[in-house]
Amino acid sequence: MSLLTHIKECSSTNELAMQLALEGAPHGHGVVADRQTRGRGRNKRPWYSDSDNGLWTSIILRPRFPISEFSRISLAAGVAVAEAIEQLIAQSVQLKWPNDIFLANKKCGGILAETSSLTDGSEPFVIVGIGINLCITSDQFPEEIRETATSLYAETSIEVDKLNLYGLIQANLLSLVDLMAHNGFGEILTRWRRRDLLLGKRMNWVTADRQRVKGRGLGVDDSGCYIVESATGEKHQVISGDLNLLI
């Protein structure tokens, strides 16, 4: 079976990949859509992807490690994407926890990893959805993200070919998932930490009991959670949510 489904348009490649995975598509099978009509971001936010100037893709993973470790896949995906982009442009890529892709201090991509929730005893799988702005100029972004979003072309003047980038990401991701299955999470964490945009920076975040707390980034711990130190020296382990940089 071909490992890539490339289509002109769909609502969301995550949804299409989920459907293909339920029909039995194998580990590594990817979907690339030139346009998405209902692209989804993290925390139920919309993802601007109704132009064909980006890479909108989802890759099906059937990992050979316990489901309790699946959350680590989104950090591995961040490393896979950052390293793939750097293979094509001569500029370093940063990662903002948990998995925003940053170039020159602006967001150029994001990752939405979703785990299957089957109760029929079949092997669980993960859909890793990846969106990367390739050739979008700032006036093409919706007003509300114009100041904070960027594209590879806007920062480098390089026109990256989407299928070329997809191929590199898919290969990197499969090799990192394989590495995790055989050698654990350590090597991936080391590679993630080299690109940590928040390290030492001031930020705020909203705690589980909805308090807004200010602090400084100390980096990811060995389980992949982010550690933030508040002004009083208290260390908080952030498991999920958004960390907002303060200027």
Short-list 40, 59, 42, CA closest to 50: 40
Task: Give least dist CB 235 to ligand BTN, A.
Answer: 26
Maximum distance among all Cα pairs of the chain, rounded to whole angstroms: 56
Cβ–Cβ < 8 Å for 150, 135: no
Q: Using the rule CB under 6 A, is 131 a contact of ligand BTN?
A: yes
Task: Give least dist CB 85 to ligand BTN, A.
Answer: 15
Cβ–Cβ < 8 Å for 157, 69: no
| Identity of the residue, 15 or 176, whose beta carbon is nearer to ligand BTN in the bound complex | 15
| Identity of the residue, 41 or 184, whose beta carbon is nearer to ligand BTN in the bound complex | 41
| Identity of the residue, 31 or 176, whose beta carbon is nearer to ligand BTN in the bound complex | 31
Task: Give least dist CB 245 to ligand BTN, A.
Answer: 15
Helix 162-183 vs helix 72-88: crossing angle, to nearest 10? 140
- Give, in order, the Cα–Cα distances in Å from 182 to each of 84, 129, 185, 187: 22, 24, 9, 11
Q: Using the rule CB under 6 A, is 129 a contact of ligand BTN?
A: yes
Task: Give least dist CB 17 to ligand BTN, A.
Answer: 8
Task: Give least dist CB 113 to ligand BTN, A.
Answer: 9
The type of residue at 83 is: E
How far is residue 167's CA from residue 80's CA, in Å, rounded to a whole number? 11
- The interface mask with ligand BTN, positions 107-126, x = CB under 6 A, is ---xxx--------------
Short-list 114, 128, 109, CA closest to 195: 109
Query: Residue of minimal CB distance from ligand BTN?
Result: 110
Q: What is the CA radius of gyration of the chain?
A: 18
Task: Give, as ranges, the residues between 11 and 70 that touch ligand BTN (CB under 6 A).
Answer: 12-14, 36, 39-42, 45, 47, 49, 56-58
How far is residue 216's CA from residue 201's CA, in Å, rounded to a whole number? 5
Task: Give least dist CB 39 to ligand BTN, A.
Answer: 4
Binding residues for ligand BTN, how many (CB under 6 A)? 21
Positions in the binding site for ligand BTN (CB under 6 A)? 12-14, 36, 39-42, 45, 47, 49, 56-58, 100, 110-112, 129-131
